Amino acid sequence: MQPGERAVPADDEGSERRGLARLFPQTPPPGPFRRTFWSSPLRGPWLTSILGTILLGGVVVVATTGFLSHAAYNPSLGMNAIVDPGRDLPLTFDWPTSPSWLYAVSQGLHVNIGLATIPFLLAKLWSVIPRLFAWPPASTPAQAIERTAVALLVSSAVFLFATGVANILYWYPFKFNFVVAHYWAAAVFVAALAVHLAVKTPVILRAYRTRGALAPLRADLASTEREPEDSDGLVAEKPADPTITRRGVLAFAGGGALLLLVANAGQSIGGPLRSLAFLAPRRQVADDGPNGFPVNKTFRGAGVPEQAVGAGTYRLMLRGDGGERELSRQDLLALTQRTQSLPIACVEGWSTTQSWSGVPLSELARLVGAEEADEVFVESLQPRGVLRESTLSRDQFRDERSLLALRVNGSDLSLDHGFPARVIVPALPGVHNTKWVAAMTFRSRA
Ligand SMILES: Nc1nc2c(c(=O)[nH]1)N[C@H]1C(S)=C(S)[C@@H](COP(=O)(O)O)O[C@H]1N2
Ligand SMILES: [Mo]
């Protein structure tokens, strides 16, 4: 008979097994529920601790920048928030306009560190997989609560990474709204992680204290032995011979992380690295002229009516407390022009810095006596979709670098980049740099 399959005489049952354990048959079901099924000699509290520590570093960066991105959308303004602001978490603040690269860096970290974290998440899950089949599933109510938190932690983590990767690939195989689901899953993840850390910190510290924080990495294959028996059941009862060292496991996961970084980071960093990013959807650009930088949604894709952008027909509608103005593109070109080097930084993690020229938004506010307005509501000629509008804060439209851009890199904007006019604001998420602007309404909040 195998250890862990010990059969206890029936009359012993009541006395030996207490609490919740009595709800389950004493003998574990066959297969993965038996401890002997898991035979890797590497598993144990130390290996799980080192993988967990690296993973923690990654998820702290990803969660922080994730909630920062939500704040950067200025969810309290207009319809910026798809997550209902009434039921939002109190985690937002006035998103600044400086430094202008703030959102590009924050969101670049979110996406790229997120990708690099995936191999460590998989390695960590592999290291604890016997726990998934622990028998009985819970013996005490405290254990049941802890295991529920772990179930929420694992499922929210898998959900967040899977939906995040799908989103950066512009692939939507699901019916629910990505932003809402990703946001609330993140809230569940952070809460479950807090419980998990509270429970596991003593276990981690004990593993580092007894085994040495890094000492087990020094063992070569011949001296790779299983960890001492633990109460969590991670250590194999009948270990097989090792086929890889513990440092080999870390190097394998680290190599995967590096590969994912090379495959994607170029579209966030730009320059020659962009073409190297072999898995990044925004690594290629259609032309190499002044408008040769990534396009998120094309003119055709957005369904902007062609006649609306013609020289004879295009009018920008400006509204403010001090009146209304209608301006043709010629009128706009006759106003103060300023040139600014500013990034477009998309929530999907790619960014690109270009030299934009156009009319300062503060100048447009002045034209309709709206310098003191609280916000400006921007609408596109694009007929449909949530991306056809955005609302900018007062600090954003009053920043002297904020432009209604008419030209880029010394040429007229291309149709795909928003001709006749588009918004460019420092540190603003790309999505709110509205293209094909039709109207701007400066307004005060009641
Ligand atoms: N009207 C309109 N404006 C838009 C979009 C859009 O789909 N429609 N896409 C936004 C998004 S998500 C980004 S990242 C930037 C990308 O600008 P680009 O296509 O010029 O690179 O434009 C923003 N402006
Ligand atoms: Mo975007």
Q: 415 CA distance to ligand 1 centroid (A)?
A: 12
Q: 73 CA distance to ligand 2 centroid (A)?
A: 11
Domains in the chain: boundaries: 13-271, 299-443
C-alpha–C-alpha distance, residues 323 and 368, integer Å: 5
Q: What per-residue confidence (pLDDT) applies to 16?
A: 59
Q: Please state the atom number of ligand 1 nearest to the C-alpha of residue 380.
A: 1
DSSP reduced 3-state for 437: strand
C-alpha–C-alpha distance, residues 338 and 192, integer Å: 49
Q: Whose CA is nearest to atom 16 of ligand 1?
A: 296
Ligand nearest to the CA of 381: 1
Gyration radius of the chain over CA positions: 28
Q: Please state the atom number of ligand 1 nearest to the C-alpha of residue 437.
A: 1
C-alpha–C-alpha distance, residues 178 and 167, integer Å: 8
Q: 296 CA distance to ligand 2 centroid (A)?
A: 7
Q: 434 CA distance to ligand 1 centroid (A)?
A: 6
> Which residues on neighbouring strands pair with residue 443, listed in sequence order?
375
What are the tokens at 116?
């690099």
Helix intervals (H) in 358-429: 361-367, 394-398
How confident is the prediction along the chain (446 residues), in pLDDT tens digits per residue?
444 444 444 444 444 567 899 999 999 999 999 999 999 999 999 999 999 999 999 999 999 999 999 999 999 898 888 777 677 888 889 999 999 999 999 999 999 999 999 999 999 999 999 999 999 999 999 999 999 999 999 999 999 999 999 999 999 999 999 999 999 999 999 999 999 999 999 999 999 999 999 999 999 999 999 999 888 889 999 999 999 999 999 999 999 999 999 999 999 998 889 989 999 998 877 777 999 999 999 999 999 999 999 989 999 999 999 999 999 999 999 999 999 999 999 999 999 999 999 999 999 999 999 999 999 999 999 999 999 999 999 999 999 999 999 999 999 999 999 999 999 999 999 999 999 999 999 999 87
Contacts (Cβ under 8 Å, ≥6 apart) of 91 = 67, 70, 71
Q: 265 CA distance to ligand 2 centroid (A)?
A: 16
* Number of CB atoms found within 10 A of residue 341's CB: 12
Ligand nearest to the CA of 432: 1
Largest CA distance in the chain: 95
Ligand nearest to the CA of 382: 1
Q: 301 CA distance to ligand 1 centroid (A)?
A: 11
C-alpha–C-alpha distance, residues 288 and 265, integer Å: 21
C-alpha–C-alpha distance, residues 77 and 443, integer Å: 11
C-alpha–C-alpha distance, residues 34 and 30, integer Å: 6
Q: Please state the atom number of ligand 1 nearest to the C-alpha of residue 423.
A: 24
Q: Would you say the pTM of this structure is higher than 0.75?
A: yes
Our mutation pick for probing the ligand 1 site, out of 382, 406, 431, 432, counting the most ligand atoms within 8 A of Cβ, is 431
Q: What is the DSSP string of 81-119?
A: -SS-GGG--S--------STTHHHHHHHHHHHHHHHHHH
- Which helix (H) or strand (E) segment is 126 a member of? helix 102-132
Q: Whose CA is nearest to atom 24 of ligand 1?
A: 434
Q: What per-residue confidence (pLDDT) applies to 4?
A: 44
Considering the segment(s) 299-443 as one domain, its CATH architecture is Alpha-Beta Complex (3.90)
AA letter at 246? R
Compute φ and ψ for 104, nearest 5 degrees: -60, -45
Q: 347 CA distance to ligand 2 centroid (A)?
A: 5
Q: Whose CA is nearest to atom 20 of ligand 1?
A: 417
Q: Please state the atom number of ligand 1 nearest to the C-alpha of residue 429.
A: 14
Q: Whose CA is nearest to atom 12 of ligand 1?
A: 431
Q: Please state the atom number of ligand 1 nearest to the C-alpha of residue 435.
A: 3
Of 358, 366, 361, 363, the C-alpha closest to 377 is 361
Q: 295 CA distance to ligand 2 centroid (A)?
A: 9
DSSP reduced 3-state for 228: coil
Q: What per-residue confidence (pLDDT) applies to 78?
A: 87
Our mutation pick for probing the ligand 1 site, out of 346, 379, 415, 435, counting the most ligand atoms within 8 A of Cβ, is 435
C-alpha–C-alpha distance, residues 39 and 130, integer Å: 10
Our mutation pick for probing the ligand 1 site, out of 282, 296, 355, counting the most ligand atoms within 8 A of Cβ, is 296
Q: Count of residues for the chain?
A: 446
CB contact at 8 A, 382 and 66:
no
Of 338, 372, 337, the C-alpha closest to 442 is 372
Q: 119 CA distance to ligand 1 centroid (A)?
A: 31
Contacts (Cβ under 8 Å, ≥6 apart) of 168 = 111, 264, 281, 348, 349
Q: 60 CA distance to ligand 2 centroid (A)?
A: 23
Kindly provide the b/e burial profile for residues 372-388, where b requires at least 16 CB atoms within 10 angstroms of the residue's own CB.
ebebbbbbbbbeeeeeb
Ligand nearest to the CA of 417: 1
Protein residues whose CB sits closer than 6 Å to any atom of ligand 1: 294-297, 302, 344, 346, 380, 382, 387-388, 417-418, 430-431, 433-436
What are the tokens at 378?
């921007």
Ligand nearest to the CA of 168: 2
Q: 431 CA distance to ligand 1 centroid (A)?
A: 5
C-alpha–C-alpha distance, residues 370 and 441, integer Å: 9
C-alpha–C-alpha distance, residues 134 and 27, integer Å: 12
Ligand nearest to the CA of 343: 1
CB contact at 8 A, 349 and 164:
no
* Number of CB atoms found within 10 A of residue 288's CB: 8
Q: Whose CA is nearest to atom 15 of ligand 1?
A: 430
